Structure 1
């Protein structure tokens, strides 16, 4: 998958993660992943909601209090400072403005930007178990529920990082499809390309979505498409396991059963078994599969997103 500069997907990002000094203390939380490995493949759109609503730099810290489902964002020192409405309105505004992004990386634990486990305090000062979600992040995600989102800290996990980037490229592909025009044929072809990626993440939804499009008939794709895509993105949130990846690898081997020698088949099966046992990463059997498909091309496999769901130099499958 080659990505030209004009085709780079856009990612929303908390500005502090890009090294911008917008934190309450005038500092930043620069992410090496965002400013390093990902910079070549994505255009970042930074935002800091707390600065945007006028809190200034430096500023009094805020915290979440009250109902964890719908908390209030108030000043840590001066609780009469309540910026809940401003943060929520800015989240709604930015969700309406940033319609061309394909994903968003939020600052973890932030009362404005955290996606989960943000501390929410009771009246007596004790935090609730489980926590809540930042005010800005909550409002933004409610407006764009299908958008791939993740926290910077969770992206240190190789499986979560690979899953997130896979979803970002799926979202970007859908955006291109919508720009080109949604038709029944285009929708069917899109699903066909995601067959094995979907099978790796959620085999139940893979079957359900196939049936959904199979029974589409003469339905308006403008109505079916958004429903299909929401279900697809929800399914892709599930991280593929060694077992589900192994299942897909075995399916792909089926396209080579008439062309490989007994020795080549044995070698390939050996590497797939080693991957399943956790001895080698996914990239090892997958690289051998790609080698065989270069010598024995299959047009259907060549279209499969699973074979290369993101740029190879990112090496996202080297650690899963």
Structure 2
């Protein structure tokens, strides 16, 4: 049941960067490490580049093709070696549930990597690291995030939500995909998807309802990709309030007036920003222990990841 996460080796603290240093992430090494097994990769070292080494960059040729070249000597081109490594490495990563890459790296950056034209003039931070671009193209459903963006609490919580959801899906389909498993999985993620992307919530529902129109392979890829893309959209206070009110409706016939008032007031306080999301969720979970509802108890919305990560506090 180990959750496998790919990660740039420098983010784990390995001194493999071009300057001989690292970019160790405290969150990755001290918090998330208790819940996952890392698969460290440094594409640049993997293709034989030394540590330390001359800096490299992404540069277009005159046909607008991207190359990985030495910054001060563009004639030294590492593109073919990197492409060969990519072709060998990516097929080995099918078991991953997520990937954390090093920001701004010409090999690993997820976005905003400096790109240069054929004459060496900077075009702006519009590139994607060569290795990570290929990774995201091959596995469009895979949660990928940069180390620097994990400093943002909202982005971090979003990535972790996607990571654990992806792993849950993989475990559900471990011994083969079936429509029955898909329906069960989709059912327990309904409210979590609704909190992130109401439009995708409806579209995924229609996709599952029309399952017989697709081949199993097509349905699985389409659902997983759309599901993960839906969770990629940041949840909002408005959407969470909508979900909380939906959940409240399931309990309206079992709660007394005082309990209904307390729950409504707590949801309102959350909507207005006076209390964190954890407050109404904790109260809902309390009422569910008193008045069990199997459908609600199975909803991953309440616990999308281990509580010990403290991301909803």
RMSD across aligned C-alpha pairs, in angstroms?
Answer: 1.7
- Write out aligned runs for 1:1-320 (5 A): 7-66=1-60, 70-123=65-118, 125-217=120-212, 220-318=215-313
SS in 2 for 1:39: helix
Instruction: Tell which deviates more after alignment, 26-35 or 220-229.
Output: 220-229
Aligned to 1:4: none
* Shift, 1:125, TM fit: 4.4
How far is the alpha carbon of 1:130 from its aligned partner? 4.0
Native 8 Å contact 1:91 1:137 kept in 2: no
Deviation by residue 1:245-294 (Cα, 9 ceiling, x = unmatched): 11111111111101112222222122211211222211111111111111
**Structure 1 unpaired stretches of 5+:** 1-6
Asked if structure 1 preserves the Cα contact closer than 8 Å seen for 2:173 and 2:181, the reply is no
CA pair 123-312 structure 1, distance change in 2 beyond 3 A: same
Q: Contact 1:196–1:304 at 8 Å: present in 2 too? A: yes
Q: 1:88 Cα deviation (Å)?
A: 2.9
- The answer on whether the counterparts of 1:73 and 1:111 sit within 8 Å (CA) in structure 2 is yes
TM-score of the pair, normalised by structure 2: 0.95
What is the deviation of 1:96? Answer: 0.6
Residues 116 and 124 in structure 2, CA contact (< 8 A), matched pair in contact too: no
Counterpart-to-counterpart distance in 1, 2:55 and 2:144: 24
Q: Is the 8 A contact 1:94 1:140 kept in 2?
A: no
Unaligned runs of 5+ in 2: none
TM-score (norm 1): 0.93
Q: Is the contact between residue 92 and residue 139 of structure 1 (CA under 8 Å) also seen in structure 2?
A: no
CA contact (8 A) 1:92 1:143 kept: no
